[in-house]
Structure 1
Amino acid sequence: MKKSILYIAALALTTVTTLNSCIKEIDPQSSTVTKDQAANAPGAFNNFVSSLTSSLNGEFTYSGSSHYPWDFGYPSFFLQRDVMGQDIAVETSGSEWYTTWYSCGTGLGPTYAVCQLPWTYYYGWIKNCNTVLSLAGEDPANDQKAGAGIAYAMRAMFYMDLARMYAPETYAKNPEAATVPIITEQTSAADATNNPRATNKEIFALILSDLDKAETLLADYKRTDVYTPDVSVVYGLKARAYLTMEDWANAEKYAKQAQTGYQVMTESQYLSKTDGFNKPNASWMFGLTFRPSDPNITENDADSSWGSQMIIEVSGSGCGYSANYVGPKRIDSHLFSTIPATDFRRMCFLDPALDEMSKADAIKALEAYTGDPEGVYTTGTKVSSRGNLGCIEIKFRPKDGEYENQYTAFTVAVPLMRVEEMKLIEAEAAGMQNEARGIELLTAFAKTRDANYEYGTHNEAYYNTATSKFQNECWWQRRVELWGEGFATFDIKRLQKGIIRSYAGTNHVSGYQWNIQNTPNWMNLCIIQSETNNNSACTNNETPKPLSGDSDPFAW
């Protein structure tokens, strides 16, 4: 466990270690860089700006070694959050690296190393943003405006994630609920040791303020790729913030603005065997990419990477946790059963009907899903402890359809924001003001995935009947459309839903087939003990405790 005080470390004008080469003098005692040193180093400002996005993934930021296969950056938090609910069923093997989050394991408590993981990553990223903003000043020079705008946008994104991960109550339910302490470029070291958790109201005020500044500073910025945020991403982040706050008018406004210039993915793009969810297209607003030189790729046979966890079509490589060691992630079998056969998104997951076929027939049928049917069959029936194919995800594809070389297959891009999310925010926000208008927008979107879509068939409440059938329909679309992209826990908390893992035909792991009528407290992350020990004003969330035994099956 790392014992350093993240907040005090966040005040140092340093960034990722790869930037140290551009600094002439470093204090040998602290290995930190003074503001003057950073400002005077050739190209330093642009390097600091580049680090805001380049440090999102690829490095072993938490541990410094390849020993932890979930230590690959921002997309790892997608999986940590998504397995906490019901939409992802993990493997039963003891080598499943996301079991702690799936099973409400003791590692979620404040005295365990896993609890440090988000603290290390997020406050490191925030530190990088604060470095750029300190260098740029309150009135950035023309050649530093875009860099400052990117820093404001990224800091807002990080704090919004933290607020939603740590607040025990969502903004709309309790604006005064505690989130996390705020550190900006103005925070002193003394302040950091007596820094209470900001309320929802306080942290979202900072988020919106940062986004307002980013919107102004990025107004004329033209990016060269989707790996750096521009003003459309700022609009998208505002849409997310206002959705969480239930400021429906602004959520609709900014979700609509964010869509300009983007197009919803077609069926062929969505299901592409070579480029599916691994390469930017006209729907991607923001993303990141794993590079061939990243330690996540070059070390440990590339097994400590997103691809190792989510790309199953590399059986021939002999590597990858999903393909060859543990087995793949799966969609919740009930959720899969609710996706109509006419909805092409169903093809992102293997049909349980394959398990009723002979081996030869199953391999033949798998040709509709993958260019490596025999490899996928082997992964499902031989590698997975379940010994079957049903509900295996095949949404995230190997780069260029590479099935043999994992070093190439895993150098993929990962979407962080898509226009489809904005379509769904717009529809929900519109409908919460005028339901008929929302239904019209939701139906229009749903028909791009299923020409036979009929509104009103996907409104299961998951115990919270206070949400309208319309909002439940929106949630179902989000669960299917954004599966595996990090939204599950955020939506469960926002909509105050329960968890249903126990039902006839469930594919959830025995011992963790829990039905919980309220949002489980393990979705409110604990703050690492070293922080509360050294920051006297910082309180903590309740340490979650796993349930004992499976729940009685839920009757749908």
Structure 2
Amino acid sequence: MNVKYLLSSFVLASVALTSCTDLDTAPEGNTVTSDQKNEIIGAKPERGEAGVRAIFSTLNQYCPNYVAMGKSTRHSDFGYGSVLYFTDANTEDQSAGNNGYNWSGNSLQLTDRNYTSYESQMVWNDHYQAIYAANNVCASYAAGDPTDDQGKFFYAQGLATRAYMYLNLAQLYQFTYKGNESKPCVPIITDANSNEAAANGAPRATVQEVYTQVKTDIDHAIELLTSTKYVAGDGDAKRYISKATAYGIRARMNLVMQNWAEAASDAQNAIDEAKKVGIEPASIADVSLPYFNKRSCKDFMWCIYVEETDDVVATGIINWISHNGTFNYGYCQYSGGHQINKKLYNQIPETDVRKGWWSGEDGKNTHLDDKYNAYLAKYSFPAYTSCKFNTYDGTLGCSTNANDIPLMRVEEMYLIKAEAMAKAGQDGKSFLESFVKTYRDPSYTCNGDVQEAVYFQKRIELWGEGLIWYDVMRLNKGIDRRGGGFDATVVFDIKPGDPILLWRLPQTEINANVAISDADNNETTPAPKPVKDEE
């Protein structure tokens, strides 16, 4: 078995990430040792930087799974943004017309759980391709931690990216950490065991083993980022993983593991580190118009950089914002765009600025100028349509779809801290109230359970950013679309713990990995059947 095929898209990565694999092969074809790699990076640090840049280039690619999917071009295949797109469509919070222009139809129907589905292949590959690139960087430091500041920063990028990807995989392919520690999760491939995996395959590690790997990597990354004086230049500041972002990744991990005090501490550290470089929550004024479109947004901690010259932008429509941006040129204009669950929308107070992130029951948005409403009417967008994301240049119908894609915003850290404080027996209620009153709703009062209140806030704040699925799984929620305004064919009431909630390892992985058989995969589950809707 070829380990590059085990991590499916590595067939492509070996071509696309030449800057990274150049470090693995000497001119005469022999393998370069770890010591030699360190010498190369020490003498030519730009080679180390090229390897790091290769990690983040995997997140934004035009049809990276073309070969793995049998030379099939899918207009929902645009890098890691595809994963965000699919997981949002799986939820009860985001609806869309189940029509030919909507490329998230399989995820709306949850037929993406079929292990031969295109989505199954993309979700798997998009994670493991980034892990492959991260492993190449980590392998360069196998002899030990670098002593130079730049080397420490580069090594931290590989470790933190690997931690991030495995943390997400753990929550997609198995239920939440507590109570499921011994259940099968995903194969662990690192720079240390890749040769063994190539020779003998890699079995599904347990949930506990995956989280141990995540913790080891992110702890090490934070140590390196703490000890280095090197920081990315302004042009790369939010492309790379900063110390603030690394704390944010660990805060997410500790939240899942129910390490409440540690989660609260990490979230506060993320907030503090972000503030040092001018990152703070977007204000009520900032988000009173469409926002969240580029790295210069004051609340972005980490994002996928999308440049005008990128292939995904050159296509016009095969990119994340084409499918998610109501006011952009792209698929939304023809598919009807994305809508918020109307029950969720109706729970948002009128005093909350986020009420204006969607149109109302009549299809109009009283919070926005006439030009926005004219645009909504021109393309016949239905009620509750997203008005959250601004276009690349701020003009309606912008045809340059070069929006950066948020991966972590600082507002999430405030919400993590509020929940973790409450669960740790501290005053999370007051902390939550202070945050929401300051940045979103001056009239806000937290009533009831703080954890549930935070979940509600996340459903609004992070809507459309591909993150809420992880809270659905972490909090053992189901998917109840009744009364949400969904097409009748996708109105489901899926109970917590239903095996349909888990993704299945793709068939190509089963075929290629001699350490995994069909019997090792997650349960085969029929697609859910629609239920009677509610008004």
Fold equivalence (TM over 0.5):
yes
Q: Tell me by how many angstroms 1:72 deviates.
A: 1.2
Paired residue for 1:329? 338
Q: Tell me by how many angstroms 1:245 deviates.
A: 0.3
Change (3 A) 1:453 1:33: farther
Paired residue for 2:242? 230
Paired residue for 1:462? none
Q: Are the counterparts in 1 of residues 9 and 65 from structure 2 also a CA contact under 8 Å?
A: no
| 1:176 paired to 2:182 | yes
Paired residue for 1:464? none
Q: Tell me by how many angstroms 1:202 deviates.
A: 0.9
Counterpart CA distance in 2 for 1:8 and 1:113 is 13
Paired residue for 1:99? 105
Q: Are the counterparts in 1 of residues 293 and 389 from structure 2 also a CA contact under 8 Å?
A: yes
The Cα offsets for residues 270-300 of structure 1, whole Å up to 9 and x where unpaired, read as 2334x5443433322111221111111112x
Q: Are the counterparts in 1 of residues 300 and 408 from structure 2 also a CA contact under 8 Å?
A: yes
Q: Are the counterparts in 2 of residues 499 and 519 from structure 1 also a CA contact under 8 Å?
A: no
Alignment equivalent of 1:396, drawn from 389, 395, 407? 389
Paired residue for 1:447? 437
Q: Tell me by how many angstroms 1:522 deviates.
A: 2.8
Q: Are the counterparts in 2 of residues 11 and 185 from structure 1 also a CA contact under 8 Å?
A: no
Q: Tell me by how many angstroms 1:472 deviates.
A: 1.1
Q: Tell me by how many angstroms 1:421 deviates.
A: 0.5
Q: Are the counterparts in 2 of residues 348 and 394 from structure 1 also a CA contact under 8 Å?
A: yes
TM-score normalised over the length of structure 2: 0.88
Q: Tell me by how many angstroms 1:423 deviates.
A: 0.5
Change (3 A) 1:11 1:536: same
Paired residue for 1:490? 470
| 1:84 paired to 2:90 | yes
The Cα offsets for residues 434-487 of structure 1, whole Å up to 9 and x where unpaired, read as 16x01111111221211111221xx6xxxxxxxxx3221111011111111122
Q: Are the counterparts in 2 of residues 153 and 214 from structure 1 also a CA contact under 8 Å?
A: yes
| 1:351 paired to 2:399 | no
Paired residue for 2:47? 44
The farther-off stretch of 16-25 and 58-67 is 16-25
Counterpart CA distance in 2 for 1:525 and 1:369 is 42
Paired residue for 2:402? 411
Counterparts of 1:146-545 in structure 2 under 5 Å?
Answer: 146-167=153-174, 169-192=175-198, 193-219=200-226, 220=228, 221-224=230-233, 225-260=237-272, 261=275, 262-273=279-290, 275-299=291-315, 302-314=316-328, 319-323=329-333, 325-354=334-363, 368-369=368-369, 371-379=371-379, 381=380, 388=382, 390-407=383-400, 410-434=401-425, 437-448=427-438, 449-456=440-447, 469-503=449-483, 506-538=484-516, 539-545=520-526
- Count residues with an aligned counterpart: 508
Counterpart CA distance in 2 for 1:518 and 1:48 is 41
Alignment equivalent of 2:32, drawn from 30, 35, 54? 35
Q: Are the counterparts in 2 of residues 15 and 128 from structure 1 also a CA contact under 8 Å?
A: no
The Cα offsets for residues 312-331 of structure 1, whole Å up to 9 and x where unpaired, read as 213xxxx40002x2120111
Counterpart CA distance in 2 for 1:158 and 1:371 is 40
The Cα offsets for residues 476-508 of structure 1, whole Å up to 9 and x where unpaired, read as 0111111111222211111111221113xx310
Counterpart CA distance in 2 for 1:268 and 1:240 is 28
Counterpart of 1:336, as a letter, is Y
Counterpart CA distance in 1 for 2:463 and 2:377 is 22
Give me the CA root mean square deviation.
2.9
Q: Tell me by how many angstroms 1:67 deviates.
A: 3.0
Paired residue for 2:115? 110
Counterpart CA distance in 1 for 2:266 and 2:477 is 26
Paired residue for 1:57? 60
Q: Tell me by how many angstroms 1:372 deviates.
A: 4.1
Counterpart CA distance in 1 for 2:409 and 2:307 is 21
Q: Tell me by how many angstroms 1:80 deviates.
A: 0.9
Q: Are the counterparts in 2 of residues 176 and 200 from structure 1 also a CA contact under 8 Å?
A: yes
Counterpart of 2:128, as a letter, is Y
Q: Are the counterparts in 2 of residues 371 and 401 from structure 1 also a CA contact under 8 Å?
A: no
Q: Tell me by how many angstroms 1:521 deviates.
A: 2.6
Counterpart CA distance in 2 for 1:135 and 1:287 is 25
Change (3 A) 1:264 1:326: same
Q: Are the counterparts in 2 of residues 311 and 397 from structure 1 also a CA contact under 8 Å?
A: yes
Tell me the SS of whatever aligns to 2:489.
coil
The farther-off stretch of 198-207 and 234-243 is 198-207
Tell me the SS of whatever aligns to 2:140.
helix
The farther-off stretch of 304-313 and 332-341 is 304-313
Q: Are the counterparts in 1 of residues 3 and 197 from structure 2 also a CA contact under 8 Å?
A: no
Counterpart of 2:262, as a letter, is N
The Cα offsets for residues 498-532 of structure 1, whole Å up to 9 and x where unpaired, read as 221113xx310112111223244333110012222
Q: Tell me by how many angstroms 1:16 deviates.
A: 2.9
Counterpart of 2:375, as a letter, is G
Counterpart CA distance in 2 for 1:484 and 1:117 is 19
Q: Are the counterparts in 2 of residues 59 and 295 from structure 1 also a CA contact under 8 Å?
A: yes
Q: Tell me by how many angstroms 1:59 deviates.
A: 3.1
Counterpart CA distance in 2 for 1:547 and 1:21 is 43
The farther-off stretch of 3-12 and 518-527 is 3-12
Counterpart of 1:333, as a letter, is K
Q: Are the counterparts in 2 of residues 218 and 231 from structure 1 also a CA contact under 8 Å?
A: yes
TM-score normalised over the length of structure 1: 0.84
Q: Are the counterparts in 1 of residues 55 and 133 from structure 2 also a CA contact under 8 Å?
A: yes
Paired residue for 1:358? none
Counterpart of 1:531, as a letter, is E
Q: Are the counterparts in 1 of residues 20 and 50 from structure 2 also a CA contact under 8 Å?
A: no
Tell me the SS of whatever aligns to 1:116.
helix
Q: Tell me by how many angstroms 1:208 deviates.
A: 0.9
Tell me the SS of whatever aligns to 1:70.
coil
Counterpart CA distance in 2 for 1:34 and 1:15 is 17
Percent of aligned pairs sharing the same letter: 26
Q: Tell me by how many angstroms 1:135 deviates.
A: 1.4
